[in-house]
Amino acid sequence: MSLRPAVITGVGSYVPDRVLTNADLEQIVDTTDDWIVSHTGIRERRIAADDQASSDLGLAAARRALEDAGLGPEDIPLIICATITPDHLFPVTAAFIQDGLGAPAAAYDLLSGCTGFVQALWTARQFVATGECEHVLVVSADKLTSITDWSDRSTCVLFGDGAGAAVVSAGEGDPSATGLLAFELQTYGEHGSLLRVPAGGSRRPVDQEALDAREHCLRMEGPELFKLAVRGIPDIAERSLAKAGLTYEDIDWLIMHQANLRIIEAAARRLRVPDDRLVINIDKYGNTSAASMAIALDEVYRDGRLQPGHNILMVSFGAGFSLGGAVIRWGS
Ligand code: UT7
């Protein structure tokens, strides 16, 4: 079977209007703007309205991506939504997006956290490359504030809400030189307990005891994850680049998961990617989980920095513990 190139033909993102600053958080928990900025690089984040679920955020981003691609809902046969904050356990969040768009599409979720955007792009590529679908709509949407423990200062200062989307379409030419060039993904399940929501699944349904212990909220062992991320990023980045036949000198944009500015800067130094090729927006949005790199991609595209022919290296890390790398040559 000959494979077709899979290219990104449209991107879009959405963040809620409400801004929560570090000064606002100083009123909620025992923290300071200085601590948050120096330890994370975050200055503010966006918070979804009470009546906004992840699918609402995702739908807004999806509409923008479709418009950018010049496509209508009728052109989309498959929607993949990456999220760890689904509207409900089921039906899937992608189904609400499918309904909102009115697309005659199959729809499913990829429950994966911060690596979700890369995993969903990787999945979309298979459907497009094999000829199964002409277009796949990838949506990354998370309302992390819905699982935030607002009494835990070690986590509540980190997260924000948002969504990003990309249309992956069949391209022309050599698949090894166009569009989604290469992916490398790996999960290390032995570290799964470092980032999780303890209750609410089949192993530990939510009961009063779980609610009292706030086990329905996100728990994170930050310093351990920090070490795993800094150690794992160079390896997954190098494997992704090698698969694409590129080196760091070929990279125009490094888009990393926006979890901590210190992780991004440390990794960039080790990867020898200069600062002016880094895409950073953690200061404005905090950690938006699956949405973070999709929002960053949309930003660098819409402000004109990203140009046709540019090479993008994406590196993500998060729950699982999982790592993901993607190399993309941007199309016209
Ligand atoms: O997106 C998924 C993947 N996420 C990650 O990979 C996150 C990786 N981890 C991190 O980004 C960092 O570990 C954090 C930003 C979460 C924490 O930064 P840290 O430099 O590792 O801080 P720490 O947890 O080691 O805490 C240092 C100190 C502690 O005080 P003591 O024990 O030294 O007295 C904490 O209690 O800072 C204290 N602290 C705070 N102080 C003020 C923790 N959170 C806060 C806070 N405000 N919000």
Local structure of residue 104 (DSSP, 8 states): -
Q: Which atom of ligand 1 is nearest to the CA of 259?
A: 1
Q: What is the pLDDT of residue 201?
A: 95
Identify the band that residue 176 occupies on the pLDDT scale cut at 50, 70 and 90. Answer: confident
287 is catalytic: yes
Determine whether the shortest distance from the Cβ of 223 to ligand 1 is under 6 A: yes
Region 119-142: what's the mean pLDDT?
98
Determine whether the shortest distance from the Cβ of 196 to ligand 1 is under 6 A: no
Contact 72, 63 (CB under 8 A): no
Region 290-315: what's the mean pLDDT?
97
Q: Rounded CA gap, 163 and 12, in Å?
A: 9
Q: What is the pLDDT of residue 332?
A: 64
Residue 77: cis peptide before it, omega within 30 degrees of 0: no
Determine whether the shortest distance from the Cβ of 40 to ligand 1 is under 6 A: yes
Q: What is the pLDDT of residue 2?
A: 81
Region 315-328: what's the mean pLDDT?
97
Q: Which atom of ligand 1 is nearest to the CA of 154?
A: 44
Region 275-290: what's the mean pLDDT?
96
H or E segment to which residue 188 belongs: none
* Token representation of residue 144: 């992390």
Place of tokens 């429950």: 111
Residue nearest to atom 3 of ligand 1 (CA): 318
Closest CA to 297 of 266, 254, 263: 254
Residue type at 198?
Answer: P
Residue nearest to atom 8 of ligand 1 (CA): 226
Region 169-194: what's the mean pLDDT?
95
* In the predicted structure, residue 198 carries a pLDDT above the cut 90: yes
* In the predicted structure, residue 1 carries a pLDDT above the cut 80: no
Average pLDDT of the chain is 96
- Chain segment 13-68, per-residue pLDDT in tens: 999 999 999 999 999 999 999 999 999 999 999 999 999 999 999 999 999 999 99
Contact 4, 129 (CB under 8 A): yes
> What pTM, to 2 d.p., does this model score?
0.96
Closest CA to 54 of 105, 88, 22, 24: 88
Q: Which of 22, 260, 281, 287 is catalytic?
A: 287
* In the predicted structure, residue 74 carries a pLDDT above the cut 70: yes
Q: What is the pLDDT of residue 16?
A: 98
Identify the band that residue 174 occupies on the pLDDT scale cut at 50, 70 and 90. Answer: confident
* Cβ within 8 Å of residue 94, ≥6 positions away: 79, 80, 81, 107, 108, 109, 139
Average the pLDDT over each of 231-240, 266-275, 314-323 and give the range with the smallest value.
Answer: 266-275
- Chain segment 206-246, per-residue pLDDT in tens: 999 999 999 999 999 999 999 999 999 999 999 999 999 99
257 is catalytic: yes
* Cβ within 8 Å of residue 217, ≥6 positions away: 147, 148, 149, 152, 197
Alpha helix segments (H runs only) across the chain: 22-26, 33-40, 54-69, 93-101, 116-129, 153-156, 208-212, 222-244, 261-271, 282-285, 291-302
Q: What is the pLDDT of residue 327?
A: 98
Residue nearest to atom 38 of ligand 1 (CA): 154
Distance 110 CA to ligand 1 centre (A): 28
* In the predicted structure, residue 153 carries a pLDDT above the cut 90: yes
Domains of the chain and any CATH numbers: 6-170 (3.40.47.10), 179-329 (3.40.47.10)
Which of 71 and 331 is assigned the larger pLDDT? 71
